[in-house]
Chain A
Amino acid sequence: MNYKQLIDRLSEQTGNTKVKTKEILGDTVSVLSEQLSRGSGVSIPDLGTFSTKINQEKKVYNPHYEAYIMVPPKRTVEFSPSTNLKEEVKYLEQPDE
């Protein structure tokens, strides 16, 4: 399901216009990413938990340079689905895509 389809469905369900739906979804996204940028985790019932994690600096071998490279630390987003969602999709037929 792409973004357009999501907006279509969402405006259908909530009765808002598509433009309005897009705005609210945009606000939701910006609040979520702001919270994550501050390092706060966010839980959404029935969907799951978003949190951030710091990947520590590490040394990897780069075959192109034939040398070890220091990869700097990085903060990434982690998502852990709720039990409910996990169980719902667990034994579905494998989707075609």
Chain B
Amino acid sequence: MSEKITFKELVELIAKQSEQSQSSTNSFITELVQIIESGLKSSGSVSISGFGKFELRWMNERTGTNPQTGEEITIPGQNKVVFKPYKALREDVNAPYAGLKSRIIREETEIFEPAVPVQKSKDSSETIDDLIIEHDNPHFVKPEKPKKKTPVAAPLPNEAKLAEEVQKSGSFKWSYAAAVIIALIAFIALFFMIQRGIDTTETPTTTPQIEQVTPPVVSDEEPADVAEPEPPDTEPQTEFETTSFTVEPGQSLWTIAENQLGNPYLWPVLYNVNQDILTNPNQLPAASDLQIPEISDPENLNEFEREQVALGYFALYEWNLENNPDEARYFLWAVGVFSPELLDQPPSDVDPDDLAFARNR
């Protein structure tokens, strides 16, 4: 974006396009600039068809402060040159974003999604701290048990119990608990990595990320496995074809959905398919391998895809119910947007108030 072409290159391009010599193009532009300047002086505006309009705008006198001395000064009224691009130019420049439309807020909750989940790989110590706190909290440990049903499942109860005991006894220092848990996590991750090494013979490239709690997931895992813990899930007739995708710094589910699926609003489906990696939809572990489902046409989802997106939003609803109850209902509403049928037969653990909100919106 910061890329720039020099004036010389510009002249060359124009000369080529208009089949003129470079020197006459050069003098043409010089004349043009002079005429724009004199036009601004004489009439206050110069319009170039298909491009835009240069205008003078009068800025009234105002007071400001000298940033160095803090002293109040009066800035006299003056003219400013503004450029207003015309529609043709605006549309050309905005072409990459042309398809996007404004949407009414289910985004009240999603709004922080692009900002918060930005991966913290630069600052891994912080990430680990965050995760430790989450694991200390029994709220987080409990719901994780049913979700992690891969080889990791066996050692996990220990960890949960331990965290609970540590909390009950109260005589332990938090830092001690954290140390124990991180050791456990590292052990589990290591165990998992070794297993994976045996399974696939392929050496994992993400070894430094072991401490990121969520080990890279075996890539040929079926999304159906993940969907299974979903209470309302009727076994899907078809399954997503998935491709593997390694998260890069600065990415969020939102941007990945935008780039890989073609529509950022489909990001919950990523969460749903990758629930074994993503314990917190707002945090993306560094360099984790996500499964990206194939979506044929992001503008026209077929029935199965719509249902999967709705299930994704439902998973988010459940997560938010525990961690962010105030905003959970917006996700439930989004479920109804993608699959009204799912709202018609709500699972038992849906709050009736939220359901009413989602239906009447």
Task: Report which A residues bind B (CB closer than 8 A).
Answer: 1-3, 5-6, 9-10, 13-14, 23-37, 39-48, 50-52, 54, 57, 59, 62, 65, 67-77, 79, 81, 85-86, 88-92, 94-97
The stretch of B98-106, B240-248, B292-300 in contact with A is B98-106
Q: What are 21 inter-chain pairs, A to B, with CB distance below 8 A?
A: A3-B49, A10-B31, A10-B35, A13-B35, A28-B28, A28-B29, A29-B48, A30-B50, A31-B13, A31-B14, A41-B2, A43-B6, A46-B37, A50-B83, A51-B4, A68-B107, A69-B105, A70-B103, A75-B97, A85-B37, A97-B44
**Are B7 and A10 neighbours in the complex by a CB distance under 8 Å?**
no
Residue numbers in A under 8 Å from B198 (CB-CB) = none
B interface residues (Cβ-Cβ under 8 A, vs A): 1-7, 10, 13-14, 17-18, 20, 24-25, 27-29, 31-37, 39-52, 54, 56, 58, 78-83, 85, 88-90, 92-97, 100-105, 107-108, 110-111, 114
Given contacts A9-B39, A51-B4, A79-B82, 12 further A-B contacts (CB under 8 A): A3-B47, A13-B35, A29-B49, A31-B13, A36-B93, A42-B4, A46-B37, A47-B36, A67-B105, A70-B110, A72-B100, A79-B52
A31-B13, A76-B85 known; A69-B104 Cβ under 8 A: yes
Known: A14-B28, A35-B10, A77-B52. A6 touches B46 (CB 8 A): yes
Contacting pair B56 A89 (CB below 8 A): yes
B3 proximity list for chain A (CB < 8 A)? 39-41
